[in-house]
Amino acid sequence: MSQSGAPEHKGATLSARPWTIALSGAAVAAVLAAVTLPGSWSTPELWAVGLLLVGLLFTESVQFDVEFRDQTISLSPTEVAVVVGLVEVGGFWTAAARAVAVVAVLLWQHWPPPKIVFNIALSVAEVCVALAVLSVMPPLRIEEPVSWLSLVLAVLATGLVSMVGVSYAVALTDGWPGWKLPLAAAPNLALGPLSVVVGVIALLLTRQTSWTWALIVPLVLSFVAIFRQSARARRDRATVQQVYDFARRVELVTPDEAGTRDIVRAVRELLNADRVALWLPPYLDDGPQLVVDSADGDLSWYDGPGDPDDLLRRRAVTRETGRPVLTSLARADEAEAAALTRRGAREVLGAPVTTAAGEPGYLEVCDRRSDVVTFGDGDRGALESMLTHVNAAIRQQQLLSQIRHDADHDRLTGLPNRQRLAAEIDALLAADPADARAGLVLAALDGYTDVTDTLGHAASDELLLVTAGLLREHAPPQAVVARMEGGQFAVLLPGLSLQATERAARRLREAASTRARVAGLDLEVSLTIGVAAAPVHGSDAGTLIQRADVALLAAHTSAGVATYHPVLDQQSLRRLQLGTELETAMAEGQISVVFQPIIDSRTADIVSVETLVRWHHPRYGDIPPEDFISLAEQIGRIGLLTDHVLGLALDRCRRWLDQDIALSVAVNLSARCLVEPDLVDRIRSALREHGVPGELLTLELTEGSVVDDTVRNSTVLADLHALGLRLSMDDFGTGYSSLSQLRLLPIDELKIDKSFVLGMSTSQNESFIARSIVELAHNLGLRVVAEGVEDEVTRDLLAQMGCDKLQGFLVSRPLPEDRLEGWLLARTGVRSAPPGATHRRLFVRT
């Protein structure tokens, strides 16, 4: 026998409603009964009808459930009892007893009323069709083989009626099922003839002697046991095959959200569930993910799986065994019932999912589509087997996501890299080619190379992380922050005009200008920024990035922020060419030095000459020192340039010594040179190579470089001072040094910045500042040099203040070596070596 029906669906058409199906089946059964049952009336013994009813109750309760969509086809060996009933008590009582047995069994199994009515009608219709077949065959004589054939045909007809009835219900509920449903019900057709054989044998033996029932009952029980065992084995084989098919299916899923949805759908179909949800924790750039698949196509979120405090989810995820947890409304306590009500579910299978990051996910299976069959231990085992493949598929997806993420993200900061940024720019501009606007900000971290060279890569990585955090924090919400390479970052600003991008760039620079604790030191974080915008400066990623990079190069020599302009292309090309020619220019003598004398304010002795670098380019002419010095710093050639200038200065000093004249030379030292680990060794070697004592060399350092934490916390100044040379703080008054810092530094002299000196003759404030610097330096035991002295009034004021040395156009302009010699011959005299000294000195004649 097959039992089936359709659960009620909201919004179903009238013909598809369960009661409509049930009542239409009852109407057909009533017609068949009216035609066939009156002719089969008989008056059997009541005990015989009672025994038939007991047999039908037994066989109806032994079922093998086959699920098809939301239908359940229940197969049972009822035909054995039906064959006995047709022969012994007649069709009318067989139909009546079977109807009573169906009602009793289905009520005990809590089937819904429409299904009970439909299955009563189907069972009566099957008996009526069997009677109709027997009516056209010879009268039943159980001893004659032709009667056996008649019973086989009758039972086969009942199987066909059952199949048609079930197909009718499925077609009205879910649409025509095709050949899948007949194949699912095929075992019932094969069971019919076997049931006839068992029934006929039982009847033949019983007519020989009533004691035959002592043999028949064990035979029937054995038949039922074999039926149940084969049904269980078939179900197990089907489950194993389904799990195998499931494993093959999830192996082929794509590593994206569609693939995850395929996994969820495969779980739902294998367990014939109404709804399955998979929750995955955040991973890489993705937030938490909740994927739902439903039999009715409703994929909207429902309460429970995404709630970390949900009882069912928490119980499944924290369960130590890792096995699925089954919760059903029939055995639920108050809290469990509330959790099921949140989902609108009768039962839930919940299980943890293992992800690549180690944080557990959660898989939840709600309700079988059939309202007859419920989840059992077999389903828990099937889900447990599937979890192995689900976990592997999820981990594979996430690992592939990791590979893709690493391909277009910076591993250190987690920010998008250059390739990802370019893709984002092109996608943004391609979305609206006519009106798309976007700003691009390239930001270079100042001092990044110095930190790396001095403190190592771990410290520079820490500084990069701090900078990335600052940019993330202060960039607009819709911005894309990326790391390019080295100490360079980019910020893509969708929808911004050029003017708005410039304002945003300045805000970013101000917000990111701070001090950060890195490697135990307080380091200054500052950015140099180049700006470009689309469509003004380009309509594709390559052009926009290149032009922002050109602007960034220009920003190094401007106020820290520069916007692309076509004229910068030539400047950038010029800088590129100069960078490649720098070493050649030194070797060919294009880069030379000039000397500016420095005199003692009291004696007019020439105590030193400052060595200043110059570059006369064969194509570009004289190149301003600030241009190629900053270029040398950026391309890492400042050390070579410094060595070149130092060599020229010491060579000139050596030739003066050979003339028995002691004249000190001063060389400017870049802040970047102070962090070079071999600086002290190079200067020691240069002094030894030229045979110049250390006291005849003065290194001029900028105020900012001297008070920098990296320099202050190193021994480089002390090591230089130990060579016997003098250290001079250049441009004093423009930086941020304090009295306490000066007291702790091994500095020999201060050079008052010319911005204060030039205005002394006309401004009392400037004079007051200069006087304060002189007094401060003398109190600290330092000598003072004033640069920018251009008139006699200023010279006299400085002399009155006690300034030790003077430098400026009043004394001499910077002169190349040949002109310096002429100036020395024309303007200076020679003093004899003072007591204790070995060399003569030059003085300026008045």
Per-residue model confidence as pLDDT tens digits over 336-355: 888 888 888 889 998 888 88
Query: Mean of the per-residue pLDDT values for the chain?
Result: 80
Q: What is the pLDDT of residues 486-542, one digit of tens each?
A: 889 999 999 999 999 999 999 999 888 888 787 777 777 889 999 999 998 888 898
Whether residue 74 has pLDDT greater than 80: no
Mean pLDDT value of segment 460-468 = 89
Name the DSSP class of 39. G
Whether residue 670 has pLDDT greater than 60: yes
Lowest mean pLDDT across 466-475, 659-668, 821-830: 821-830
Helix, strand or coil, per DSSP, at residue 116: helix
Grade residue 70 by pLDDT with cuts at 50, 70 and 90. Answer: very low
Higher pLDDT, 169 or 652: 652
Which percentage of the chain shows pLDDT scores above 90?
A: 19
pTM: 0.47
Grade residue 780 by pLDDT with cuts at 50, 70 and 90. Answer: confident
Higher pLDDT, 68 or 251: 251
Whole-angstrom distance, CA of residue 309 vs CA of residue 393: 26
Grade residue 9 by pLDDT with cuts at 50, 70 and 90. Answer: very low
| pLDDT (0 to 100) of residue 143 | 76
H or E element, residue 441: strand 438-445
| pLDDT (0 to 100) of residue 570 | 59
| pLDDT (0 to 100) of residue 456 | 77
Long-range contacts of 736-740 (CB under 8 A, 24+ apart): 736/703, 736/704, 736/707, 737/703, 737/706, 737/707, 738/707, 739/776, 739/780
Amino acid identity of 450?
D
Q: What is the pLDDT of residues 76-105, one digit of tens each?
A: 667 777 877 787 788 788 888 888 888 888
| pLDDT (0 to 100) of residue 521 | 76
Peptide bond into 535 cis (omega under 30): yes
Which percentage of the chain shows pLDDT scores above 70?
A: 82
| pLDDT (0 to 100) of residue 226 | 65
Q: Are 103 and 116 in contact (CB under 8 A)?
A: yes
> How many C-beta atoms lie closer than 10 Å to residue 396's C-beta?
16
Here the tokens at position 828 are 């200076």
Mean pLDDT value of segment 139-164 = 79
Q: What is the pLDDT of residues 30-63, one digit of tens each?
A: 888 888 888 778 877 787 788 878 877 877 776 5
| pLDDT (0 to 100) of residue 71 | 46
Place of tokens 């202050």: 712
* Most confident by average pLDDT, 151-155, 207-211, 531-535, 568-572: 531-535
Classify the C-alpha dihedral 271-275-281-283 as positive or negative: positive
